[in-house]
Chains A and B, each alone.
Chain A
């Protein structure tokens, strides 16, 4: 019973503790006020521009601590928030709107920590403040829109193939019905559709309706569409967030129809919701001035035209054909008309849009062109109690509402080209929001916010300080108790407990796992539970001493016999923690993470480390009495 560790056991202890302390260290330095400059819409910040920015804050009065450039963008650290704000204004006037400039807090640890990827823990939004959104993409809406497009495609395809039909329409429950003029065209129609539109599948001829062809989207086409809509929406959301100027935003898909958006530091959730959730776009159409508006309103509109409404409720007759839409817009900026004082949006078109614009406006000088504003809102169908209604496959049913308003319908005075302006907007805010949405691109399918968790800056700060206090006080109480109860062995356990805390912080920092408030509670709980292993061992040693064993033998047997109990007890707790992790959303996941990490690190500190300390103190010599 020598109770000594070999060199390799010490190597393991040192090999865990030293990196543990190193990776935990960056957390001690706190934050500096900083500015992040990122390229928006996929463009990276060039080193030339980086140097220009650095020159702006070169003089010592600007309070710059350090500037760095990496693949994500540039970071500037400042000594005071005042210096940070001043620099932001300079950056904004220098770079105009080519890049996203955001205020943020940056770790104040020396740069060489970062170069060895030692970063402080990643704090969750409930600790640093900010908005968390969970958004659901209305895939049924996307499929509906796709089918509507196929109705138009089918008409033209059948026309080119000389298959005459009485009508092509979309069924309200999904699918497309084509009614043929002659029954004998059935085969020809089927052949044409299958050849020209491979994404459609046809069902067999129905009994009693030999003149009908039933088509629907193939499952593959639907899956592709869903995938595309989700990816496209994520891109559009990213672009929109870039416009908001948020540091370290998170946009992630979750499952096959949901997107998580996290905006640290954002407080104005009203604006964020307005901008993220909307699917606004524009379509340009010509006003039908050949037909009489009144008779169209009372009777039926002439073929090729449709009734729309202006914002003030007046009807207007527009030609069905869309000249070009929001997809052709490459840039949009909101401003105020110097003459009228009203809000305007200046629009720049891409080459195709500009060509169409030139041709159509050139031919129609003196006539009117309408700007149609289209927004799709999707909403869950609920029953009287506000509970969601379920469809046949257990999916939540939705209704989507398409809002179409003619913003303005001015007379074309001149041939238009690449640029033009839109008037008739309600407010400056609307102009800014519309410009932003046109710039960022439209959403492929409507989205809806189904969960929001916002934490204000003061609560985030309070959560940090309360969490920190709980850890310190809980830790202190346990330390005092263990020392009183076990004396020298209590001190060993306390060293292990302290290093356990360090290791937990290090693991959280290295993996950049999100630390949430429940996560902090998990740390506190671990502090109380981590001593369990030591209690088991020490009680066992006392027992063995009571049985008349020598101190050295008691230490040896105490550790050995308590081992299987500790492992069993910890593995079962780990099972509960892992289930929690799988079930968890956001904050709860944070709790499961710290709990799991704590279980693993505490097994190391409570068994391996305390044994080392005990061996160092008592091992290899004659001991008459243990201070336990």
Chain B
């Protein structure tokens, strides 16, 4: 089977102006949104407490909210998580005496209407409770997840996250400069920054939670998009050496067209698994999969429309791409 019956001859580089405008608009929207709305940082970065519980029966979020407010946590955010039997409680970082104990106090408050206390539970089983009457059985309120992040940990993560992004870009810049040429390195990094800005922008515009897994997904997107870009660059380099005639624009167009079916194929298989994660990976993995979905789409686009024009703008020429005189391996290829 073939997607493209014959090698296509699409003038990708000719549309670089249009692509530049589209990307610039998307990035500006993202940046404006970041400035105005900001990012909905998860507690991994802000610090705070998160408690997820599930009930046997459907439960009113408002009654749960009242319960928690009565326990002294008026600032708690209570919402359904997936179904109307699952409740997620979020609390911002607070200066209370024992911040780590907040989650325990919330659990006690949630269990109080059922007059039960946790006794024991084995891995894989439901939690067992003891009711005040003395009977034991499975708890009406099942604790599913508790996360508490102290303010100093959140602050460190934010710093480290930003640094990680920078280090990844720097490492790539060095490697690509070494294997290709500095213009290609900058072109690749420009495409990556483009992808990151748009993905983060989408999270800001849609108000999606920006958690630690989302940051991990963005770093994975950096890896993925780079993969795509490198494949195209590799072909550009090869064609610069192979095609005696032709302007850099022509060479790049041919290269993008030659690798087009591969780019589409790999994006497709990756999208298949990302969509699988998004649909059945569960709520916890949702933000992660969303970031991957956006990133893979934008990454594919940028390796075609952004990376090459960036190299072009930097003034690539045939001379720069000719094999460097080296001893040994390459010496016999020279006349």
Contact = CB atoms under 8 A, between A and B. Distances in A.
Given A525-B220, A573-B224, A129 B124 contact: yes
Contacts of A450: 100, 149-150, 152-153
B316 interface: no
B269 A579 contact: no
B49 to A, nearest CB: 9
B165 to A, nearest CB: 8
A384 B95 CA distance: 8
Contact of A573 (B98, B150, B226): B226
Interface stretch (A72-80, A308-316, A501-509, A583-591): A583-591
Q: Chain A: interface secondary structure?
A: helix
Interface in B95-140: 95, 97-98, 100-101, 103-104, 107-108, 118, 120-127
Nearest to A477: B272
Contacts of A182: none
A605 B260 CA distance: 24
A517 interface: yes
B147 A452 contact: yes
Contacts of B10: none
Contacts of A382: 95, 151
B8 interface: no
Given A459-B52, A580-B220, A454 B100 contact: no
Contacts of B153: 134, 450-451
B160 to A, nearest CB: 5
B219 A579 contact: yes
A587 B147 CA distance: 13
Contact of A267 (B120, B157, B167): B120
Contacts of A595: 220, 223
A531 B289 CA distance: 19
A528 B270 contact: yes
Contacts, number: 279
B272 A478 contact: yes
B1 A572 contact: no
Interface in A488-531: 517-518, 521-522, 524-525, 527-529, 531
A463 B231 contact: no
B326 to A, nearest CB: 15
Interface residues of A, number: 99
B285 A521 contact: yes
B146 A452 contact: yes
B155 interface: yes
Interface residues of B, number: 90
Interface in A449-463: 449-463
B249 interface: no
A448 interface: yes
B227 A529 contact: yes
Contacts of B265: 485, 535, 539
A619 to B, nearest CB: 24
Interface in B44-60: 47, 52, 54
A580 B164 contact: yes
A587 B213 contact: yes
A345 interface: no
A103 interface: yes
A379 B97 contact: yes
Interface stretch (B13-21, B29-37, B274-282, B327-335): B274-282
Contact of A575 (B123, B175, B234, B258): B175
A571 B219 contact: no
Contact of A588 (B95, B216, B261): B216
Given A451-B149, A455-B144, A474-B273, A572 B104 contact: no
Nearest to B222: A576
Contact of B160 (A470, A485, A564, A583): A583
A484 to B, nearest CB: 6
Interface string A306-330: 0000000000000000000000000
Nearest to B123: A265
A452 B103 contact: yes
Contacts of B95: 382, 384, 386
Q: Which 8 A-B pairs have the closest CB atoms?
A: A528-B273, A576-B223, A450-B150, A583-B164, A474-B273, A449-B100, A270-B104, A573-B223
8 contacts: A267-B118, A380-B151, A450-B153, A457-B121, A474-B277, A525-B277, A525-B292, A573-B226
Interface of B: 1, 7, 47, 52, 54, 92-95, 97-98, 100-101, 103-104, 107-108, 118, 120-127, 142-153, 155, 157, 160-161, 163-164, 167-168, 171-172, 175-176, 179, 212-213, 215-216, 219-220, 222-224, 226-227, 230-231, 234-235, 238, 258-259, 261-262, 265-266, 268-274, 276-277, 280-282, 284-285, 288-289, 292
Interface of A: 33, 81, 103-105, 126, 128-130, 134, 136, 264-265, 267-270, 273, 277, 377, 379-380, 382, 384, 386-388, 396, 448-463, 466-467, 469-470, 473-474, 477-478, 481-482, 484-487, 517-518, 521-522, 524-525, 527-529, 531-532, 535-536, 539, 543, 546, 561, 564-565, 568-580, 582-585, 587-588, 591-592, 595
